[in-house]
């Protein structure tokens, strides 16, 4: 079999998942139509109708009101709008509120805006600890808040970690923060479609969602914002989206987004059962096949599609490339910065040493995943790990 004949096994759905055919169809239909949703003529009103019907569909699926759904260009913009918008709105009313509470395992779309606020706006970042399973504990949040409740601007804790899949007690954190009138933001990008997500029931003030993580198009997401929560805009212009997020609305993308969200939420329970079965087969097969392989994250409270594994004596980047050469696409637990592999900040925050943090892979399944995909991993992971270990030993020999 040649490389061109080999079937690609795609197990990186946490990075992006293939668009659903129904979402492609909905988006394609609207791409052929002209109209700016802010225009008053017939074509503009038709585009506006598409946007508002999409907003209603998304809101219903997420347990929110339509007016609470603010469309953005994706998860990164939504996180930036949440953090900066909350920070400036709170500071304008109460200048003492300069403390931002967040965990060290957040996605960089949350970490980097927080650090930017510290560097440029004199925010005071307070890192919430996580345990060895990657969990933020409500008691730690309470202790941090009670040091000086009136100095806290907001709390941000993701619903599910994008690397190790651990679920966070967001509902409990939101309830305790509410006692002190402190808003809570959660990045739910990895959670929607994987676990039940109800905005009103969670009790948070803002929640980030992204379309391409659940079968929708790239380049669109939303920040779900409670109707009473004040946000200072990050973008200024035409005043779209409640005057919170200016910019011409992408009507075709909203249509695809709505179809994807509705489908993901309707199929969530059945799909979670299917993916859990595949994930457990993958984990037990790898751990039973490869000496020293370990599961990371919470073995019980985790996303149904996530299997994050570490391999002793290996570099994650080497494992990824060796699997890729065999047609199996996964993700590494480390980030590559300017060509230099760095240990994952998530794993380091969980207390892993550099070696384990570097030698990790993330396998994430999705709506196209099958048992044949899992079997392909199990057939190849043993030889790949042995080769990666050999390469590592050779490198050590050359450097001594």
User: Is residue 57 a contact partner of residue 222, using CB atoms and an 8 Å limit?
Assistant: no
336 as an active site residue: the answer is yes
Say if residue 15 is exposed, middle or buried (CB neighbours under 10 Å; 0-12, 13-18, 19+): middle
Catalytic residue among 92, 269, 335, 336: 336
User: Is residue 55 a contact partner of residue 261, using CB atoms and an 8 Å limit?
Assistant: no
Put residue 242 in one of left, alpha, beta given phi > 0 → left and psi -120 to 50 → alpha: left
Token digits for 88?
């400036």
User: Is residue 342 a contact partner of residue 334, using CB atoms and an 8 Å limit?
Assistant: yes
User: Is residue 101 a contact partner of residue 128, using CB atoms and an 8 Å limit?
Assistant: yes
Q: Strand pairing partners for 364? A: 12, 306
Say if residue 81 is exposed, middle or buried (CB neighbours under 10 Å; 0-12, 13-18, 19+): buried
Q: Give the integer Cα–Cα distance in Å for 117 and 232.
A: 14
Rounded to 5°, the CA angle 77-90-184 comes to 60
- Please list the active-site residues: 336
């Amino acid at each position: 079999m040649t490389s061109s004949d080999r079937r690609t096994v795609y197990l990186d759905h946490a990075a992006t998942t293939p668009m659903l055919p129904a979402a492609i169809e909905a988006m394609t239909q609207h791409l052929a139509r002209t109209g700016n949703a802010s225009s008053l003529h017939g074509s503009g009103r038709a585009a506006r109708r598409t946007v508002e019907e999409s907003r209603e569909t998304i809101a219903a699926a997420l347990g929110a009101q339509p007016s609470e759904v603010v469309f953005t260009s994706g998860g990164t913009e939504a996180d930036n709008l949440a953090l900066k918008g909350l920070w400036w709105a709170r500071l304008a009313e109460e200048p003492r509120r300069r403390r931002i509470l967040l965990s060290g395992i957040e996605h960089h779309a949350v970490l980097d805006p927080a650090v930017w606020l510290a560097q440029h706006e004199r925010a005071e970042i307070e890192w919430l600890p996580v345990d060895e399973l990657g969990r933020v504990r409500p008691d730690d949040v309470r202790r941090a808040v009670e040091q000086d409740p009136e100095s806290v601007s907001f709390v941000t804790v993701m619903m599910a970690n994008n690397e190790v899949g651990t679920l966070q007690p967001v509902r409990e954190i939101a309830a305790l923060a509410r006692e002190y009138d402190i808003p809570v933001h959660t990045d739910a990008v990895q959670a929607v479609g994987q676990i039940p997500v109800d905005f009103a029931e969670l009790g948070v003030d803002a929640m980030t969602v992204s379309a391409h993580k659940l079968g929708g198009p790239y380049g669109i997401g939303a920040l779900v914002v409670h109707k009473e929560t004040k946000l200072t805009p990050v973008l200024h212009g035409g005043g779209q989206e409640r005057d919170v997020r200016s910019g011409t609305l992408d009507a075709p993308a909203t249509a695809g987004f709505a179809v994807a969200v509705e489908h993901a939420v309707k199929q969530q329970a059945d799909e979670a059962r299917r993916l859990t079965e595949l994930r457990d087969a993958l984990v037990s097969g790898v751990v039973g096949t490869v000496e020293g392989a370990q599961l990371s994250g919470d073995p019980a409270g985790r996303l149904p599609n996530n299997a994050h594994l570490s391999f002793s004596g290996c570099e994650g980047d080497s494992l990824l490339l060796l699997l890729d050469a065999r047609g199996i696409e996964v993700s590494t637990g480390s980030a590559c910065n300017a060509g230099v592999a760095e240990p994952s900040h998530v794993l380091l925050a969980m207390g892993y040493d550099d070696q384990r943090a570097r030698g990790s892979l993330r396998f994430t399944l999705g709506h196209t995943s099958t048992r044949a995909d899992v079997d392909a991993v199990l057939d190849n992971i043993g030889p790949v790990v042995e080769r990666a270990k050999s390469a590592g030993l050779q490198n050590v020999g050359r450097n001594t």
